[in-house]
Amino acid sequence: MKLIIAIVQDEDANRLVSALMEKNLGVTKLATTGGFLRAGNTTLISGVEDERLGEALGVIEKVCKSRQQVTTSSAPLNGSNGVYVPYPVRVTVGGATVFVLEVNQFLKV
Ligand code: 2BA
């Protein structure tokens, strides 16, 4: 058995939990904070049988694939005399940091 620890962006977390549960893969969701940005992210832990590891990693990759998204920035534009005019910017969102650990024992007592 393997233990997957996946650190994902908050916005992907619920979709990922649903996608894993749909495949009958157990998952626990933890609210976490990244050390570098000191911003919230989500850590999911999932114990999977060895033969289902590839399937589980595939679900994580599909749901959390990094992608471009257009959002609105309110930083002042050059030449706008300090006036805050919202304008669209393209940012990268998604992606996951994944660790796979060997499980020595799995008990429910
Ligand atoms: P990622 O490398 O995709 O990491 C996303 C989050 O995954 C991290 O959030 C952290 O919570 C977790 N993580 C990544 N590597 C880990 C590890 N080896 N062990 C345990 N947890 C780990 P943050 O720490 O807030 O980092 C957010 C993003 O800032 C990182 O995205 C990376 O793009 C950047 N970053 C992190 N450390 C950096 C550094 N020292 N210098 C420059 N950029 C850094």
72 pLDDT band (50/70/90 cuts)?
A: confident
Give the residue, 77 or 51, on which the prediction is more confident.
51
- pLDDT tier at 101 (50, 70, 90 boundaries)? very high
Whether pLDDT at 75 is above 70 = no
**92 CB under 6 A from ligand 1?**
no
Q: Closest ligand 1 atom to the C-alpha of 95? A: 3
pLDDT of residue 20: 98
Domains of the chain: 2-66+95-102 (3.30.70.120)
> Does the CB atom of residue 97 touch ligand 1 within 6 A?
yes
Q: Which of ligand 1's atoms lies nearest the C-alpha of 39? A: 25
**Rounded mean pLDDT, 13-41:** 96
Distance, in Å, from the CA atom of 20 to the CA atom of 94, rounded to the nearest integer, reads 17
Amino acid residing at 11: E
Q: Which residues have C-beta within 8 Å of that of residue 95, sequence separation ≥ 6? A: 8, 9, 64, 65, 66
- What are the DSSP E strand ranges found in the chain? 2-8, 28-33, 40-48, 67-73, 87-93, 96-102
SS3 1: coil
Determine what percent of the chain is predicted with pLDDT higher than 90.
Answer: 70
